[in-house]
Structure 1
């Protein structure tokens, strides 16, 4: 596995996006356990995109305006829903002292949906992964699986670090109502901005 692949992947993963934003929100509202669950859900949401890239479905999204638009607008609507939820006291940023199994499952599912409803990810993997596979590679599928697994492992690790850092300052924020109000507005604005960016995305 080349150093260029690892460095490029790290830059892509560290860059703030919907997954990072959601992991931070989960950490600040529910603590470290929820941040790990969010990181897991977001990482799991990468799997369908990698599978789509490997099966050629990403090429369909790239060539079919209808398929791309349908998935894109579902993603936009979901991000706007997340923005609305973030503004509500009992929504996405609802402060919870304890995260049970049911709550953790909900966090994982939300993280999964956030990533799976972004058609740009499938096209990204279709264009990104083949660059690091040699033309004379004897087992290209196995190589692609190896690169995909490495990308997912790095994604999970980076998101967990983001989440644990946010969870470490959680107590200083959730005990201050004014801080939580501004935090809800900031995350709502972040989700709305990402939704707008996705709405403007082209194939």
Structure 2
């Protein structure tokens, strides 16, 4: 088990890491601004579900495969970049619907949840980060290392849920105001497209 002081120190560091600018919180910000607060929260839940996958991967040693195999790392990286380009294409093509009175085609909760999972799982850098970060707070004297990895991963997920949830609520409120203007709506879509392309490019140049 984890001593309280270890758990608290790890949780504090996890909060700071979640607050630092990165692909995931930027992704939450843009999705919330485009689709609203509730949609952003579904994306956050998807991202946190993806973190469960990374935690399990570290606990059973799968993350080491991505660290050791250039082919596996590149394959997952290319899938993630391709998905971000797909999202960028959709955002850049989207127009305003305010003047015509039409409502934009909203994503379902499951579509947004799935989007968050894919975004997180197709970033092999997260697994490698977990592989390097979590063991620093584990010790063989406290019991099974795999169980400690899962507990640490759970704490990291809680920290991420808090921080990303706050980002979703804040940016969603701003997005709802921007959507009242056709020009602002087009600007928001274009910005989202550029952000997604930037995230894809960043992922492509990521090295192990």
Q: TM-score scaled to structure 1, two decimals?
A: 0.88
What residue in structure 1 maps to residue 198 of structure 2?
A: 193
What residue in structure 1 maps to residue 165 of structure 2?
A: 160
- 2:193 and 2:35 map into 1 onto residues whose CA distance is 17
Question: Cα distance, 1:192 vs. partner?
Answer: 1.3
Deviation string for 1:138-165 (max 9, x for gaps)? 2322222211111111111211110111
- 2:64 and 2:103 map into 1 onto residues whose CA distance is 42
Matched, 1:88 2:100: no
**8 Å Cα contact 1:18/1:114 also seen in 2:** no
Gaps of 5+ in 2: 96-101
Question: Cα distance, 1:96 vs. partner?
Answer: 5.7
What residue in structure 2 maps to residue 28 of structure 1?
A: 33
Matched, 1:173 2:178: yes
Matched, 1:142 2:147: yes
Matched, 1:69 2:74: yes
CA RMSD in angstroms comes to 2.1
- 2:119 and 2:67 map into 1 onto residues whose CA distance is 20
Q: TM-score scaled to structure 2, two decimals?
A: 0.86
Number of aligned residue pairs: 197
Return 18-27 or 77-86, whichever deviates more: 18-27
Matched, 1:110 2:115: yes
What residue in structure 2 maps to residue 43 of structure 1?
A: 48
**8 Å Cα contact 1:18/1:115 also seen in 2:** no
Q: Identify which of 49, 60, 65 aligns with 1:60.
A: 65
Query: Which consecutive aligned stretches of 4+ in structure 1 deviate over 3 angstroms post-superposition?
Result: 95-99
- Alpha carbons of structure 1 residues 185 and 97: separation in structure 2 relative to 1, 3 Å: closer
Q: Identify which of 128, 132, 154 aligns with 1:127.
A: 132
**8 Å Cα contact 1:79/1:191 also seen in 2:** yes
**8 Å Cα contact 1:30/1:98 also seen in 2:** no
Gaps of 5+ in 1: none
What residue in structure 2 maps to residue 11 of structure 1?
A: 16
**8 Å Cα contact 1:14/1:158 also seen in 2:** yes
**8 Å Cα contact 2:60/2:146 also seen in 1:** no
- 1:98 and 1:85 map into 2 onto residues whose CA distance is 12
